[in-house]
Amino acid sequence: MHTNEYLELETEDAIKRFHTGENFYSQHVFGYHQEERDGETGFVFRVWAPNAQQIWLVGTFNNWDESLPMQKNEEYGYWEVFTTKPAENDLYKYKVRQEDGREVYKIDPFAFVFEKRPDNAAVIHHVPQKKWKDGLWYGRKKRSNFFRRPINIYEVHASSWKHHEDGAPYSFADLKEELIPYAKEMGYTHIEFMPLMEHPLGASWGYQLIGYFALSSYYGKPEEFQDFVEECHRNNIGVFVDWVPGHFCVNDDALAKYDGTPQFEYQDPDRAANVRWGSINFDLGRPEVQSFLISSALFWLEMYHIDGIRVDAVSSMLYLDYDDGPWKTNHEGGNRNFEGYYFLQKLNAVVKLAHPEVIMVAEESSSDTQVTGLIETGALGFDYKWNMGWMNDVLKFYKMDPAFRKDHFNLITFSFMYMMQENYILPLSHDEVVHGKKSLMHKMWGDRYKQFAQLRNMYTYMMTHPGKKLLFMGSEWGQFLEWKYDEGLEWQDLNDAFNKNMQYFTSSLNQFYKEQPALWELEESYDTISIIDADNHNDSVLSFIRKSKKKKDFLIIVLNMTPVERQDFHIGVPYQGSYKEIWNTEMKEFGGTWEEHNPDQLTEDVPFKEYPYRIKTVVPALGALILRPESIKVSRKPPAAK
């Protein structure tokens, strides 16, 4: 059998699987590929458009004319043409005569590279096979359990982290030189990027995509991003990427009604229209769409060695009534979007089968569906879920005048009631510092000194609360202005002592978190935490213990939510002995006024709530303390009779 006949059989099999929703590498058959036919080396182009009347391949290689008509495979609804004309860096599109006869220039849905926006022709670009040098990183990942390791994520919008003096955003070649050393120095374990896939409008922040296989040319070449990820791994930093499989851009030259009919979107116009975001919803029940999207996810994981994917807007895929527009109940009379539910389970099953070490994260705001956990139990199969409830409660509490916090103390304690229902990431993300919501710093109550004190307090609370961590760029030094997607961060803030001290505080806290097994080693179970006092509403002081596998290795966390210093403050402890203060947010180097830590505290043989002993210390106004046992006796006496 000739080579061409083998290729034809492989292509037919791949396209059959694409139509059954089981081709998870569909970019290997669609888009453009170099082939040899009849002794000539050229390119074959394929596109799926079952209801188009005719399609032409047009580009710089044929002056955008109709000299390269594509031939339709009637059985499977795809179009194909072989040509020797294109060369490296040539541009191309498909000219589609749609079902109603209208002719539209469309992008290639499987293109790897596009020209810079606002133009959107695909680019013929050969990405060389990379010889990766991150084997040590992969070896460590496979040997470790990420549930029992520290995860502290620095969330980044790639084109607004820093700009050049002429206003041009950094490319990934630039970010490799500056962002990686910065993230390493700051003590982050992972960098998470808002969507990097091709999108036509910067104001969408990347959440309305057109190119699901293309790194946005705004950020540089694919090779540059590969090198960036490799360098992250060589510096022991993981990389996550946001991905949007729920909805896509409405642009007429992209996926919307590609062949003139609802092709990638739902047939029902109410289900297809995403009113809230002005976009179009994928038909997640259509097999070809499943093949397309899961292929995109695996492509990013494998092409770029990505360590995890954060799936955006999961609630919009789970509930028919999530959007603002009209909706109809499902066949059971409820609001469950069964297509979305089963697609997400399938996505996670496929990814985990291929790459068990990859971390799958859901940005999901409801509590009606089990998001993390085993698919066999009815969960969606994600590893982590953003804890939006924790985030909303915490920010509401810290914005409040401390005089009223005693009446709303449950805002910072309620999460202890449900913290093990899912595997959570605690997010202080980009969504909280835009659209008039103010920056995290600006949300805080009081004058500038008190705002920084509370920011330090809140970050300590986040870092000691069970759950992995995420902080948006600029928040690490308390940027006062809201984030602007089209400008660089306010790096000049660091000329101010308050901001510089805040940055040092965040870096120190990040390092502290990584060094303390009590903050992550038992995070999968309630054994990780014991509440000391969550009922001190009047003083508004919260205290609890975080524990590791070793009995003597635990931390006592005390958070004062008022601008009143608490003298001789009593704290319950489990063992007799001495306790040392190892963290105080009011130390001078962090921007506070304290020059020395509290002295070591000896236990008093007096019960405190359920604890047989107590210690006393000074808790600074709006401050947070962390203590550890210095010399203790682990034999525990029973609580005294009340």
Pick from 496, 497, 495, 419: nearest CA to 464: 419
SS3 content of the chain, % helix, strand, coil (to 5): 30, 25, 45
Catalytic-labelled residue, pool 288, 312, 339, 432: 312
With 0-12 / 13-18 / 19 or more C-beta atoms within 10 angstroms meaning exposed / middle / buried, residue 627 is buried
From residue 155, how far is each of 429, 476, 503, 512 by CA, in Å?
7, 11, 15, 19
What Rg, from alpha-carbon coordinates, does the chain have? Answer: 28
Pick from 259, 239, 238, 256: nearest CA to 247: 256
Token pair for 32: 């453009």
| Cβ proximity of 202 and 269 under 8 Å | no
From residue 400, how far is each of 156, 304, 443, 454, 476 by CA, in Å?
28, 43, 9, 11, 21
From residue 533, how far is each of 203, 241, 421, 466, 558 by CA, in Å?
45, 39, 22, 16, 9
Distance (Å, whole) CA 532 – CA 577: 17
312 is catalytic: yes
Catalytic-labelled residue, pool 323, 363, 364, 422: 363
Pick from 53, 167, 30, 151: nearest CA to 103: 53
Q: In what order do the strands lie in the sheet with 273-274?
A: 247-248, 279-281, 273-274
| Cβ proximity of 546 and 518 under 8 Å | yes
Compute the C-alpha angle 42/66/35, nearest 5°.
10
401 is catalytic: no
Residues serving a catalytic function are 312, 363
